[in-house]
Amino acid sequence: MPHKHHTQDIETRIASLLKRSDLSVTESRRKILHLFLEQPGALAHGDIEKKAGEKFDRVTVYRTLQAFVEKGIIHTIPTADNSIRYALCKDDCAGGHHHDHHIHFVCDSCGNTYCLDDVVTPEIKLPKGYTAAHVEVVVEGVCKNCKG
């Protein structure tokens, strides 16, 4: 057993993530962060309200997500169906500086949205006069869990 910090208690991980972000650790923040950590996909506001049950006020969910985005714990993923999705920033991203260079994948079959952290956004050659500050790529198709 070389190292065991990946066995680290999830609650401890959550608490330290919050503290590192200058957020006081409250029940709603722990709970919502838990939801993100226990599954691989992205979550929309509605998903969280549902999963959290009657536990929190809607306003609390809004404010919590907003705080997480501001602190770089989660990031938003654009959609064409008027429902922002949020996903955990990966370790090297949550550190403070957003990388934001990965693409997003929406599965037509299961409906989940995943960050493909290993797939880097391509260079886009724009027409004369246009300057790119940021490139967002969303690929839609069938994910590896749904294929076959």
Q: Report the interface residues with its own copies, using CB under 8 A.
A: 76-84, 103, 105, 108, 116, 118-119, 122, 124-144, 147
**Looking at beta carbons only, is 18 or 74 nearer to its own copies?**
74
> Per the structure block, which two tokens stand in for 50?
């549902």
Name the minimum Å distance from CB 100 to its own copies.
11
CB 77 within 8 A of CB 112: no
When CB distances are held under 5 to 8 angstroms depending on the partner's kind, the choice from its own copies, DNA, none that residue 68 binds is none
Name the minimum Å distance from CB 148 to its own copies.
9
Long-range CB pairs of 130-134 (<8 Å, 24+ gap) are 134/100
Name the minimum Å distance from CB 139 to its own copies.
5
Q: Tell me whether residue 33 is exposed, middle or buried, using C-beta atoms within 10 angstroms of its C-beta: 0 to 12, 13 to 18, 19 or more.
A: buried
Name the minimum Å distance from CB 29 to its own copies.
22
CB 4 within 8 A of CB 10: no
Binding site for DNA (CB under 7 A): 23-29, 45-46, 55-60, 62-64, 67, 82-84
Distance CA 88, CA 109 (A): 22
